[in-house]
Amino acid sequence: MIYLDYAAHAPADPAVLERFCDMERRFPANPNSVHAAGKTAREEMARVTEQIAALTGASPAEVIFTSGATEANNLAIKGIAQASRHIGKHIISTPLEHSSVSGSLTALQERGWEIDLLSIGRDGTVDPEEVRELLRPDTVLVAICAVDSELGTIQPVNEIAALLADHPNCRLHVDATQAIGRIPVDFSGIDTLSFAPHKFGGICGSGVLLKRSRMPLEPQMNGGASTTLYRSGTPALGLAASSALALQLACDERESRYAVVQRHSEQLRKALATYPAVHINSPEHAVPHILNLSVKNVKGTVFQRALSEKGVCVSVKSACSADGLPSRAVFAVSRDRRNALSSWRISLSHLTTDAEIDEFLSVFDACYHELVK
Ligand code: PLP
């Protein structure tokens, strides 16, 4: 099998798995318990939280562990909106967001919030000037991904953060799920930032929300204070410790990992460009980890199934979005519905080998000649 769907999930690093098992063995107690075993587990939880804070430029009190980026996005968006409803109910976002962001926004819209979506340029980015134009006294949130999951476009998050500095009632939520561990991410100027360690060698079921201290946020889960007021439940020490290690490894090795991915991405772009029916949708300046393409007049789902039958795993849109609809992100950059319906995504990691790229290209060639008439 050739796995080219690392943006959906990356395998846990063996050292991370080992850390998880070790923590589960060494700390059998609930960190919320007040007995000696609970206190030891809580101290370890504090140590792990400090490690994540140090790696992300946050303080330990700003780290909230969640079950994944979906939960982190829901908590940030709904929590900010509900905590600021006395100020206003206007939110600005983009058509490139993951369904956990767009779904949270739709849920708010149904309850009376007003959502404005920014336009996407041909290069896949939003224009911070348009954010300035859309801002109103009742705007309480701008929600934007640092890197989108379908095209891999890098958004001008720091510029947006800078212009929001003059709007203290408007919060900035950044979904950094496809950015952390791949490109440098800066928490400064951002109110909440979500990511999921299972995208870069952590364990599935782990997520993090960084939340600026003293910023009001309505919890979405009730059930006691735990290690933070904002997310109840028994703290998952094993997952938190494995997340910290995955993040440490991803940060330490970021440049060397990036170089491997970039080399493979360039090879793929060059080889795929020789097929007349192929259109590369990911902008030139996208992260190399994500390569979105369309094969003219062949639905993305059809090409993906053909590749899958030959042992190659790629995605159509992101793994969590509804099937059968054209990709909103690809439509935004190509303004072409048929092209958006034909799109699918290769996503790479530093684990991808030269042999896998060669094998992928040969399977792609076979599918192309079967499906393109
Ligand atoms: N945000 C982005 C940009 C993503 O790509 C994903 C997953 O693909 C998510 C959020 C949701 O992450 P999780 O699977 O951890 O809930």
CATH number, domain at 192? 3.40.640.10
Percent of the chain past pLDDT 70, that is, above it, reads 98
* Count of alpha carbons within 13 angstroms of residue 364, beta-carbon side: 25
Asked whether 149 lines ligand 1 (CB < 6 A), one says yes
Going by their DSSP bridges, the two strands 90-93 and 63-66 should be labelled as unpaired
Q: Indicate if 364 and 234 belong to the same structural domain.
A: no
Q: Indicate if 314 and 176 belong to the same structural domain.
A: no
- The pLDDT score that the predictor gives to residue 81 is 98
Between 70-84, 130-144, 315-329, 336-350, the lowest mean confidence (pLDDT) is in 315-329
Asked whether 104 lines ligand 1 (CB < 6 A), one says no
Residue 319 predicted with pLDDT over 80:
no
Which residues, other chains included, contact 64 with Cβ-Cβ below 8 Å and sequence gap of 6+? 72, 75, 208, 209, 210, 211, 228, 230, 231
The question of whether 313 is a catalytic residue gets the answer no
Q: Indicate if 239 and 199 belong to the same structural domain.
A: yes
Q: Indicate if 352 and 220 belong to the same structural domain.
A: no
Q: Report the nearest atom of ligand 1 relative to the CA of 68.
A: 15
CA 69–ligand 1 middle distance (angstroms) = 5
Q: Indicate if 353 and 300 belong to the same structural domain.
A: yes
The last residue of one of the domains, among 209, 235, 252, is: 252
Quick check: pTM over 0.85? Answer: yes
- The pLDDT score that the predictor gives to residue 309 is 98
Residue 130 inside a domain? The answer is yes
CA distance 333 to 151: 9
- The pLDDT score that the predictor gives to residue 373 is 83
Q: Report the nearest atom of ligand 1 relative to the CA of 199.
A: 15
Q: Indicate if 289 and 162 belong to the same structural domain.
A: no
Q: Indicate if 328 and 187 belong to the same structural domain.
A: no
Q: Whose CA is nearest to atom 5 of ligand 1?
A: 149
Residue 331 inside a domain? The answer is yes
Residue 8 inside a domain? The answer is no
Domain that holds residue 292: 254-371
Distance from chain centroid for Cα 195 = 6
- The pLDDT score that the predictor gives to residue 317 is 73
Number of domains in the chain: 2
Q: Tell me the pLDDT band of 341, cut-offs 50, 70 and 90.
A: very high
Q: Indicate if 248 and 290 belong to the same structural domain.
A: no
Q: Tell me the pLDDT band of 279, cut-offs 50, 70 and 90.
A: very high
CA 31–ligand 1 middle distance (angstroms) = 27
- The pLDDT score that the predictor gives to residue 318 is 55
CA 177–ligand 1 middle distance (angstroms) = 6
Q: Indicate if 173 and 286 belong to the same structural domain.
A: no
pLDDT (tens digit per residue) in 80-136: 999 999 999 999 999 999 999 999 999 999 999 999 999 999 999 999 999 999 999
Q: Whose CA is nearest to atom 10 of ligand 1?
A: 69
Asked whether 318 lines ligand 1 (CB < 6 A), one says yes
Task: List the helix and strand counts (H, then E) for the chain.
Answer: 12, 12
pLDDT (tens digit per residue) in 126-158: 999 999 999 999 999 999 999 999 999 999 999
Residue 339 inside a domain? The answer is yes
The last residue of one of the domains, among 217, 252, 287, is: 252
- The pLDDT score that the predictor gives to residue 229 is 87
pLDDT (tens digit per residue) in 45-85: 999 999 999 999 999 999 999 999 999 999 999 999 999 99
Q: How many other CB atoms are found less than 10 A from the CB of residue 284?
A: 8
- The pLDDT score that the predictor gives to residue 321 is 52
CA 198–ligand 1 middle distance (angstroms) = 9
Residue 7 inside a domain? The answer is no
CATH number, domain at 311? 3.90.1150.10
pLDDT (tens digit per residue) in 264-278: 999 999 999 999 999
Residue 105 inside a domain? The answer is yes
Surface-to-core class of residue 28, CB atoms within 10 Å of its CB (0-12 exposed, 13-18 middle, 19+ buried):
exposed
Residue 53 inside a domain? The answer is yes
Q: Indicate if 38 and 163 belong to the same structural domain.
A: yes
CA distance 302 to 101: 27
Between 141-155, 281-295, 318-332, the lowest mean confidence (pLDDT) is in 318-332
Residue 322 predicted with pLDDT over 60:
no
Q: Tell me the pLDDT band of 222, cut-offs 50, 70 and 90.
A: confident
pLDDT (tens digit per residue) in 170-206: 999 999 999 999 999 989 999 999 999 999 999 999 9
Which among 21, 145, 170, 320 is annotated as catalytic?
320
Q: Indicate if 127 and 178 belong to the same structural domain.
A: yes
Residue 238 inside a domain? The answer is yes
Q: Report the nearest atom of ligand 1 relative to the CA of 196.
A: 15
- The pLDDT score that the predictor gives to residue 305 is 97
The last residue of one of the domains, among 211, 226, 252, is: 252
Asked whether 98 lines ligand 1 (CB < 6 A), one says yes
Taking residues 8-19, what's their average pLDDT? Answer: 97
- The pLDDT score that the predictor gives to residue 320 is 54
Q: Indicate if 71 and 124 belong to the same structural domain.
A: yes
- The pLDDT score that the predictor gives to residue 286 is 97
Residue 296 predicted with pLDDT over 60:
yes
